[in-house]
Amino acid sequence: MEAISIGLLGLGTVGSGVVKIIENHQDKLMHQVGCPIKVKKVLVQDPVKERTVKIDSSLLTVNPEDILDDPDIDVVIEVMGGVEDTRKLLLETLKRKKHVVTANKDLMAVHGSELLTVATENGCDLFYEASVAGGIPILRSLVDGLASDRITKMMGIVNGTTNYILTKMSQEGLTYETVLKEAQRLGYAESNPASDVEGLDAARKMVILGTLGFSMKIDLDDVKVKGITEVTEEDLQYAKQLGYTMKLLGIAQREGEKVEISVQPTLLPASHPLASVHNEYNAVYVYGEAVGETMFYGPGAGSLPTATAVVSDLVGVVKNMRLGVNGSSFVSPQYEKQLKKPSEVHSKYFLRFHVEDEIGVFAKITALFSNNNVSFEKILQVPLKDKASEIVIITHHASLENYENILVNLRDLAGVKEIKSSYRVEGGAGV
């Protein structure tokens, strides 16, 4: 039984996990694919750097050609990150008829369509399960497990850093800045956390989920993105008082042939399954017309969870090699992309604002909402100093167009001092 040889691009957190799993689970892998799997060459930046995994220094190289030119290397695993240079390297890898497994969501969100097309043209597999939600097999579930169903909605916590921050803020009443510093100290947040906290990381993952789940080519520009940097402890306490928990949610929803994709801080009823997903964990809620509601939960990052998804993809590639069916798994999007207009996007909303405590102010506010066909589900009014009040409203379902019109006009309404915050509300009956 001839061994399958692997070229590994990157030996950081995930790359080290891949090496450990291939070494420690060799008997399991042998049973799955019928032959040994070995790492033959590893591309690194610094061959003498101290690492968490023991590896023969003769396997390390700083030259990508040592992997691309090796005829014995059948599969290249990319876990080094980056976009443009990595794209060029993987395109060349596929053109040399080597299969690719990647954990790179930034690359797949922006250039996935191009790479998958080139893979198919060259009879190669390109698998990327680890690019979304770490160790949770969500992409495989969409492509295989739910292949016969029509997905109508995917809603998920797909970024562990922001979930950790919101969990700590909510449970301990701490400020965003305090929790962010703690998350950076513990390694849950990068020294520059912008990609996570501003929602871009989650948006890239929703591009991948939306493209696969709806069989429609979704682009990053199609995703409406709002991060968590403006969330306050007051917002979270009011949410809790009204029976809600806040999460940074990726939401992809289809009605008929039209879709909406967004990433934004969202209030969920405390009884909703996603509300109990805490700290760095991820979860994706999938609604199918036939299956109903399913939820996929687990660690969204980390060395071994992510490496597990990578090696599972590797097993899939090797099984396809044994069957002679590589390069046939990619199915191009079935539907033309049609995005919903703001008038077609419906949700409930949380709104918090300050008003002058004067007769007639609330009547004007009520009239503004009524004129835009938006009604109140819950209202809190809290006295403030200097003859002012804080008003917190949860609306009934309303169109985004009408709600945004209310926000614009509310700012100019006599007696309204300041709009403090506004968030989407999800998870009621039938949504």
Asked if 158 and 287 sit in the same domain, the reply is yes
Which range marks the domain in which residue 242 is found? 138-298
Task: Please give the pLDDT value at position 80.
Answer: 96
Better-predicted residue by pLDDT, 1 or 161: 161
Domain boundary at 257, 288, 323, which?
323
Task: Please give the pLDDT value at position 331.
Answer: 77
Choose the weakest-confidence range: 70-79, 185-194, 381-390, 422-431: 422-431
Q: What value does the mean pLDDT take over residues 127-131?
A: 94
- Whether pLDDT at 123 is above 70: yes
SS3 267: strand
Name residue, tokens 């019109």: 405
In a domain, 291, yes or no: yes
Model confidence at 373, in pLDDT bands (50, 70, 90)?
Answer: very high
Asked if 228 and 192 sit in the same domain, the reply is yes
In a domain, 335, yes or no: no
Q: What value does the mean pLDDT take over residues 263-288?
A: 95
Please state the separation of Cα 33 from the chain's center in Å: 31
Asked if 242 and 198 sit in the same domain, the reply is yes
Q: What value does the mean pLDDT take over residues 281-296?
A: 94
Q: Residue 235 corresponds to which tokens in the numbers above?
A: 């917002």
In a domain, 152, yes or no: yes
- Residue 218's beta-bridge partner residues? none
Question: Could you give the angle at the alpha carbon of 21 between the alpha carbons of 17 and 25, nearest 5°?
Answer: 170
SS3 258: strand
In a domain, 431, yes or no: no
Please state the separation of Cα 406 from the chain's center in Å: 30
Task: Please give the pLDDT value at position 176.
Answer: 95
Task: Please give the pLDDT value at position 2.
Answer: 86
Q: Say what percent of the chain tops pLDDT 70.
A: 99
Asked if 262 and 274 sit in the same domain, the reply is yes
Task: Please give the pLDDT value at position 339.
Answer: 97
Q: Residue 415 corresponds to which tokens in the numbers above?
A: 């007696």
Asked if 355 and 374 sit in the same domain, the reply is yes
Task: Please give the pLDDT value at position 151.
Answer: 95
Task: Please give the pLDDT value at position 430.
Answer: 38
Task: Please give the pLDDT value at position 187.
Answer: 81
End-to-end CA distance of the chain: 52
- What's the chain's Rg over C-alpha atoms? 24
Q: Residue 280 corresponds to which tokens in the numbers above?
A: 């760095």
- Based on the residue annotation, tell me whether 181 is a catalytic residue of this protein: no
- Whether pLDDT at 431 is above 60: no
Asked if 162 and 273 sit in the same domain, the reply is yes
For residues 198-236, one letter each, b for 16 or more C-beta atoms within 10 angstroms of the residue's C-beta and e for the rest, the string is bbbbbbbbbbbbbbbbbebbbeeebbbbbbbbebebebb
**With contact defined as beta carbons under 8 Å apart, do 293 and 149 qualify?**
no
Q: Residue 251 corresponds to which tokens in the numbers above?
A: 């939401």
DSSP state of 341: P
Asked if 125 and 143 sit in the same domain, the reply is no
Distance between CA 133 and CA 193 in Å, rounded? 18
Q: What value does the mean pLDDT take over residues 339-368?
A: 95
For 107, phi then psi, to 5°, come to: -65, -45
- Residue 286's beta-bridge partner residues? 154, 294
Tell me, what CATH number does 191's domain have? 3.30.360.10
Q: Residue 408 corresponds to which tokens in the numbers above?
A: 């614009």
Task: Please give the pLDDT value at position 135.
Answer: 86
Give the DSSP letter string of 151-187: EEEEEEE--HHHHHHHHHHHHH---HHHHHHHHHHHT
Domain count, the chain: 3
Q: What value does the mean pLDDT take over residues 81-88?
A: 96
Asked if 178 and 155 sit in the same domain, the reply is yes
Asked if 148 and 277 sit in the same domain, the reply is yes
Q: What value does the mean pLDDT take over residues 60-64?
A: 96
Model confidence at 429, in pLDDT bands (50, 70, 90)?
Answer: very low
In a domain, 328, yes or no: no
- Whether pLDDT at 323 is above 60: yes
In a domain, 332, yes or no: no
Model confidence at 133, in pLDDT bands (50, 70, 90)?
Answer: confident
Q: How does the average pLDDT of the chain come out, rounded?
A: 94
**With contact defined as beta carbons under 8 Å apart, do 92 and 86 qualify?**
no
- Whether pLDDT at 428 is above 70: no
- Whether pLDDT at 58 is above 80: yes
Tell me, what CATH number does 361's domain have? 3.30.70.260
Asked if 143 and 279 sit in the same domain, the reply is yes
Asked if 293 and 164 sit in the same domain, the reply is yes
Helix and strand element counts for the chain (H, E): 14, 17
Task: Please give the pLDDT value at position 97.
Answer: 96
- Whether pLDDT at 337 is above 70: yes
In a domain, 223, yes or no: yes
In a domain, 331, yes or no: no
pLDDT tens column, 235-251: 999 999 999 999 999 99
- Whether pLDDT at 332 is above 70: yes
Asked if 312 and 349 sit in the same domain, the reply is no
Catalytic annotation, pick one of 20, 41, 168, 205: 205
Distance between CA 104 and CA 285 in Å, rounded? 22
pLDDT tens column, 3-16: 999 999 999 999 99
